Amino acid sequence: VNIITLTTDFGNGDIYVGVMKGVILSINPNATIVDITHDISPHNIKEGAFLLNDFYRYFPKGSIHLVVVDPGVGSERKGILIESDGYFFVGPDNGIFTYPIKKGLKKIIELSNKSYYLNEISSTFHGRDIFAPVAAHLSLGIEPDKFGNEIKEYKILNFDPEISENGINGEIIHIDKFGNLITDIKKEFMVNKDFEILIKDIKIDNISESYFEGKEKEILAIFGSSGWLELSVNMGNAADIIDAKVGDRVLVRWKK
């Protein structure tokens, strides 16, 4: 497999992503490069981690997922290569790979071998100088161990909402183009059948099966296609209707 996916907060309006593609193709002209998104909110590691978790397993085993949301570029944070859950991940050691690491970690390599870097290393663009060339060499079949030494300490973050005997204290992680509000509340957290979901001054006490069930402008709760609780409006924009934004609280309260 020589698939390399790209996920960044670089936007589509700049050349940063194009430059990374050039670096990759210069090393492996046969790499299949796949854009996931470049519109992660700037420096938002939590959003990036969530989105990564939602897409990576849909690719063939052995695919390389290159993720650059890297507020610490130029500081002492490490660059890493992860082998986990049947995939490779390349990027900064800042918690963005928390989900795949938890899923079945094989090993994490610190990217210390400079022979796989570009010749000149900037302090501002390791996506180009380190991560892209490492991913490209990896796609050529070079063994992970060649890129540096295995490390046992690395950053993982806890993104789960607080769950108590009263309910779940969640939040909006991401808002999609349709205005659907994606929360950090997983189906498996909804252990109690009787509940009410509270967002702003709205209460919802059942889960819909499809957007189609909703009346005009009615906020529905639904488990989205990746298993997260979403708040949506049939044919409408939930974010606009209730003026919601990333970070707003979403509470689930168990009813006795």
Binding of residue 7 to a copy of itself (CB under 8 A) = yes
Q: Count Cβ atoms within 10 A of the Cβ of residue 59 and give its class: 0-12 exposed, 13-18 middle, 19 or more buried.
A: middle
Q: Is residue 148 a contact partner of residue 109, using CB atoms and an 8 Å limit?
A: yes
Binding of residue 113 to a copy of itself (CB under 8 A) = no
Options 115, 141, 177, 247; binder of a copy of itself; rule CB under 8 A: 177
Cβ closest to a copy of itself, residue 99 vs residue 167: 99
Binding of residue 247 to a copy of itself (CB under 8 A) = no
**Going residue by residue from 71 to 110, which x/- string records binding to a copy of itself, judged by CB under 8 A?**
xxxxx-----------------------------------
Stretch that binds a copy of itself, among 11-19, 94-102, 108-116, 243-251 (CB under 8 A): 11-19
Binding of residue 254 to a copy of itself (CB under 8 A) = no
Binding of residue 10 to a copy of itself (CB under 8 A) = yes
CA proximity to 98, closest of 184, 5, 222: 184
Subset of 19-58 contacting a copy of itself (CB under 8 A): 19, 21-23, 25-26, 29, 32-39, 42-43, 51, 54-55, 58
* Amino acid symbol at 174: H
Binding of residue 141 to a copy of itself (CB under 8 A) = no
Cβ closest to a copy of itself, residue 113 vs residue 237: 237
Binding of residue 166 to a copy of itself (CB under 8 A) = no
Q: Which residues bind a copy of itself (CB under 8 A)?
A: 1, 3, 5, 7, 9-19, 21-23, 25-26, 29, 32-39, 42-43, 51, 54-55, 58-60, 63, 71-75, 122-125, 128-129, 174, 176-178, 209-212, 222, 224-225, 235, 237
